[in-house]
Amino acid sequence: MKTAKNAHELIAQYAPQEVHYYSDPATGLKTIIVIHSTALGPATGGTRFYPYQSWEVALEDALKLAQAMSYKCALAELPFGGGKGVIVGDPKREKTPELLRAYARVVQQFDGRFMTGEDVGISAEDLEVMMRETKFLAGAKGVTRDLSTVTAHGVVYGLKACFQTVFGNSSLKGRTLAVQGAGKVGYYLIKLLAAEGAKLLVSDIDRRALEIVQSEFGVRVVEPPEAIYAVECDAFVPCALGGIINDTTLPLLNCKIVAGSANNQLKEPRHGDRLHEFGILYAPDYVINAGGLIAGVQDLLGGSVEKALHETEKIYGRLLKIFEISRREGLAPHRVADRIAEERLRAQHREAS
C-alpha cells in the first residue's frame, strides 16, 4: 500500500523552479503558487480554488498542473513557461472580494514572472475583481469573455485527429461520445459536438447542469455518474477533474479513444501506458485542452479571438504528429508528448546558458 508523500518528497519529484506559500489571516487566504519553468518565458497558469483535503494534496495538484502548463506551452509553441496557483478552501463559502484582492496582490508581487487566470472555482467575474490589484491576468482584457469556449473548440479539433487516426475519417457525425462533465468547458463542448451530429451520452454530479444540456441538446443522461466509464462508445471524453484514468476505472472503459478537456486525466503515467496496451488511443490532456491557454496568451499579447481560434486549430496537426510517432516507435502518446516538451525545454535552457 502506498503512503502519502510529504512536501519535500513531492517537490523533489517534480523539481519546480519555485514553490511559494502565502496566508492572509485577515481574509482567510491560504494559497500555494508553483513556478515550474520560465525557460520559454514567464510562467503562466490558472488559479484553482478548491477544498483540498490536506496541504499535501493541494501541493501535489499545484506541482502536477504547473508541470503540465510548462509542457502545454512547449507543445503549443508559446513564449511562456508553466506555473499554477491553488487557493485552499471552499469557493462557495469562503470566496469573497477581499480574499480575491489579497490573492491578486500576491500575484502582483511576482511582477510578471507569474501570470494567472481562470480555473476551477475562479471565474471571469472573479478576474474583474482581481484586476483592481494586478494586471498579470490572462482573460481579463476581453479577447474572449470565457476561455472555456476556445478550450472546447480545441477539444473538437483534437477529437477529429483521434477519429482520423483510429477510424481513418475525422467526421464526428453519428459517432457515440460519452462526455464526463457538463460544466463550463463541458457545456460548450457538448454544444459543438451536437452541432457536428455526434450521439452524446453525458454524466455529471450536478443535476442542474445535466438538465440544461439535456433540454438544449437532447443528450442522453447516464446515471449514476460513475456509470459513464463503462458505457459502450467510440470515445470517452473526460471534462471534469483529474485522475479519472486509474486502476479502478481503466478496466471498465469500453471505447477506442480517450480525449477530453480535463487536466491530469491520468492518475499516474503508467495508466497511459496501460491505455496503449489495451489499444485505446489517448490524446495527452495538455495537448488537446490547450485552447484556453492559447486564448489567454492572446489576451496577454493583445491579440484577438480570431487569432486564438486560428492557433487552436493547430491542435489537430500536433496530435496527428504525436500519434504517428507513437505508432512508429511503439510508445504511448503521452510519453511522446512529454519527450517533445522536455526536448524543447532543454533546448531553451541550453540557448540561455
Q: How far apart are CA 73 and CA 80, in angstroms?
A: 6
Q: In 10 A of CB 318, how many CB atoms?
A: 21
Nearest to 12 by CA among 54, 71, 59, 57: 59
Angle at 147 between CA 146 and CA 153, to 5 degrees: 110
Q: How far apart are CA 194 and CA 175, in angstroms?
A: 11
DSSP H stretches of helix in the chain: 7-14, 55-75, 91-94, 97-109, 124-130, 147-167, 184-195, 207-217, 269-277, 285-288, 291-301, 305-312, 314-329, 333-352
The answer to whether the beta carbons of residues 44 and 32 sit under 8 Å apart is no
The answer to whether the beta carbons of residues 85 and 32 sit under 8 Å apart is yes
Q: Catalytic: which of 30, 64, 72, 84?
A: 84
Residue with cell 476556445: 150
* Active site annotation includes 173: no
Close Cβ partners of 281 (under 8 Å, ≥ 6 residues apart): 162, 165, 166, 256, 257, 258, 259, 275, 323, 333
Type of residue found at 111: D
The answer to whether the beta carbons of residues 70 and 345 sit under 8 Å apart is yes
DSSP state of 250: G
- Catalytic residue numbers read 84
